[in-house]
Chains A and B, each alone.
Chain A
Amino acid sequence: MTVTEVAWQRLDRRTVAVNSLNAAGVCVVAGVPTGVGVGGATSPGLALAIILPASILIIGVVAGADYLRWRKTRYRVLPDRVELHKGILVRSRRTLSRERVRSVDLTAGLLLRFFGLVNVKIGTGEQTGAGQSSLALHPVGKAEAERLRRDLLDRAPSADGTPRRDGVLARLDLSWVRYAPMSFLTPTLGVAAFGAVLQVAEWFGLQEGVITWTLDRMRDLPLAVAILVLVAIGILVGVVGATGLFVEMWWQYRLEREPGGTLRVRRGLLTSRSISLEERRLRGVELVEPLGNRLVGAARVDAVATGLAKQKENEKTDHKTLLPSAPREVADRVAADVLREEVSPTSSVRLLPHPVAARGRRIRWGLAGVAAVVLPLLVLGWVLPVEVLLRLAWICAAVLVPVAVVLAIDAYRNLGHGLTGDYLVARSGTVRRGTVALQRRGVIGWTARQSIFQRRKGLLTLTATTAAGAGAYSIHDVGESEGLAFAERAVPDLFGPFLDRG
């Protein structure tokens, strides 16, 4: 009966200003190179005469469209549901039941923050179509966003006793920045930087100029030194880039537990983000150790929660990260706090090793990978025949074989599975070692896979399917009998009735 009394609300009117400014920015970015190009070919006056009116038109259209969108969008929060009406030509009405709301995420770019605005995304944890299960308010005022978040996620706290630890679970320690460059991001960014320089040079028709300029600088240096210099520059750019990215993403990072049973991550230097995660959705955590971080004893903590997996493609996939790469002890403590355990299952567990046959498989995979690089070189060198290719093949083999074998042995040693309390823990991987702790009640099915090679060695790969996270977590190359016994012990009565004993 009170339904009619709840007033409809509008988005914040200043969205028009924000989007107009955005459009203006795009016009400048796109207009200046075009202007330089057109102006160079004809005359600067003509270029201005074309680009200025075009820009004003674009900005005007964007502002008008956004004004219309603002006029036509209304929302309201009722006691039992949230409603959103929107659409200029095609009206759409969307209703989310409040008890299904699982997340309220707030994001604000630099411009939005300047105006004190926030984009709000209200999500249900359901894995239907990407658009179906969420409701976006772009944007509302900061206070309003905070009110929405609190209202929608605030429920009676769970009955099972008082939470062990409320408030801040972790906050950024600036020394963690040192882990940021120790990832594949660094070389990737380095290579990307060289690519970007050449690309931009090409736009202005200067690509050859840049290359000859570089070669001129390098002329006096021996080849090896020249290569080293280029690599060093690439790494330097990569390190700066990776560090910058880390600071942008994780500045003012805080992980908090709020009274309603919600975990909240707040972070971001330029774009501020607030990600809320209902604890009810949490099915476990994954401790992720990329090789570079593992060597220096660092790990990252990801949430394994329902309704997080199907983010839209263009969204950042790091919504699930609860803690950036940090020292292993911090990661273990945060994992324990998040799960409300005394000790993190990922460290209290005694992981059982896998049969030695699994090591042979990994070594063979590694060598096969090396062969895939070396053999084509050898064949080409033989057929063409080019002496250099043959020599390159031998160098590759000499370098890659030990690397492959070491990685394979490491991969084997990282294999492990175990049970601790309510959790099933599985570890695998070498370049990215992941240790997942999954609540046993979160496992909703088992899959066992066995290739004909595994069958001969008596191994199989067990996969626990779950509604959360990646949807399935595997225990690779476990002994057949042991693995099935483990599956039965971890989650009784799934494989149980179908087991042959004897």
Chain B
Amino acid sequence: MSGTSQGEGARLRLRPPRNQVDRRAIAWWRTGILVFWAVPVLVLVVLGVFLPGARFWLFAPAVAITVVIVPLAIGMPLWWYRVHRWEVTDEAVYTRTGAVWQEWRVAPMSRIQTVDTQRGPLEQYFGLATVTVTTASAKGAVTIPGLDHELAADLVHQLTETTHATPGDAT
């Protein structure tokens, strides 16, 4: 592409945002995956115990799911941890998320409408929180998962202050 592009000299790319998510996010993501997939596996195993006739057809998918999911549960969160990054400057919130589909999002301060935190039961257990910043666009929300919950609270406070101070009607 370097040869064919109209080349304004320099090759541009988006630099990674400065901050990583909390290390505990790895454990949180892992637990999430394992809990999610433990349900069908358990159902299959329990059914297999009580239905000797169909045991093979119940155990086989359970084993297959386990064989596929356990390495994913170990590996993917490490990848996500490397990829997920965020940054808040005076002008904007900037994030990078996603592994297979990487996504960079910017929301300028002047366009921010609401700042929320969510804490699911697992996040509470790990002391984490997810911050969501919405703009007037139905599709413009910027999400920062896996932040330390106190840091998240500070961040929300800071963002709310900044957006109040920034003029504009946000559309």
Interface residues, chain A, CB within 8 Å of chain B?
Answer: 127, 306, 309-310, 352, 355-357, 442, 444-452, 455, 457-458, 463, 465-467, 470-472, 479-482, 484-485, 488, 493-495, 497-502
Contacts and interface: CB of A to CB of B under 8 A. Distances in A.
B14 interface: yes
A89 to B, nearest CB: 34
16 contacts: A127-B136, A309-B138, A310-B138, A444-B170, A451-B102, A457-B1, A466-B140, A467-B136, A467-B171, A479-B1, A484-B13, A485-B12, A495-B104, A499-B14, A500-B13, A502-B11
Contacts of A455: 102
Contact of A448 (B89, B103, B137): B103
B138 A449 contact: no
A451 B135 contact: no
A465 B104 contact: no
Given A450-B102, A465-B135, A481 B171 contact: no
Interface in B135-164: 135-140, 142
B106 A495 contact: yes
B41 interface: no
Tell me whether chain A's interface is mostly helix, strand or loop, or mixed.
mixed
Contacts of A480: 1, 12-13
B85 to A, nearest CB: 11
B151 to A, nearest CB: 21
A449 B1 contact: no
B1 A481 contact: yes
A355 B5 contact: yes
B137 A466 contact: yes
Nearest to A452: B100
A498 B142 CA distance: 16
Contacts of B12: 480-481, 484-485, 488, 499-501
Q: Lowest 6 A-B CB distances belong to which pairs? A: A465-B140, A471-B138, A467-B136, A465-B137, A472-B139, A471-B139
B5 A445 contact: no
Contacts of B102: 449-451, 455
Interface of B: 1, 4-8, 10-15, 17, 87, 89, 91-92, 94, 98, 100-108, 111, 135-140, 142, 170-171
A200 B169 CA distance: 55
A498 B96 CA distance: 11
A500 B14 CA distance: 6
A488 B103 CA distance: 17
Given A355-B1, A488-B12, 17 more contacts: A310-B138, A444-B135, A444-B137, A444-B140, A444-B170, A446-B105, A447-B106, A448-B105, A450-B101, A451-B102, A455-B102, A458-B1, A463-B139, A466-B140, A471-B138, A484-B14, A499-B13
Contact of A481 (B5, B15, B104, B136): B5
Nearest to A352: B6
Contacts of A465: 135, 137, 139-140
A498 B14 contact: yes
A442 B137 CA distance: 10
A357 B5 CA distance: 12
A502 B8 CA distance: 11
A293 B91 CA distance: 44
Contact of A494 (B101, B108, B138): B108
Contacts of B100: 451-452
Nearest to A306: B171
B171 A444 contact: yes
Nearest to B101: A451
Nearest to B133: A445
B139 A497 contact: no
B137 A449 contact: no
A500 B108 contact: no
A304 to B, nearest CB: 12
Nearest to A467: B136
B140 A445 contact: yes
A449 B102 CA distance: 6
Given A445-B105, A450-B102, A471-B137, A497 B5 contact: no
B105 to A, nearest CB: 5
A284 B11 CA distance: 31
Most buried by B among A310, A445, A499, A502: A445
Contacts of B170: 444, 467
A151 to B, nearest CB: 24
A357 B111 CA distance: 35
Contacts of A493: 91, 108
A502 B107 CA distance: 25
A482 B171 CA distance: 27
B135 A448 contact: no
Nearest to B17: A498
A445 B106 contact: yes
Most buried by A among B1, B17, B91, B94: B1
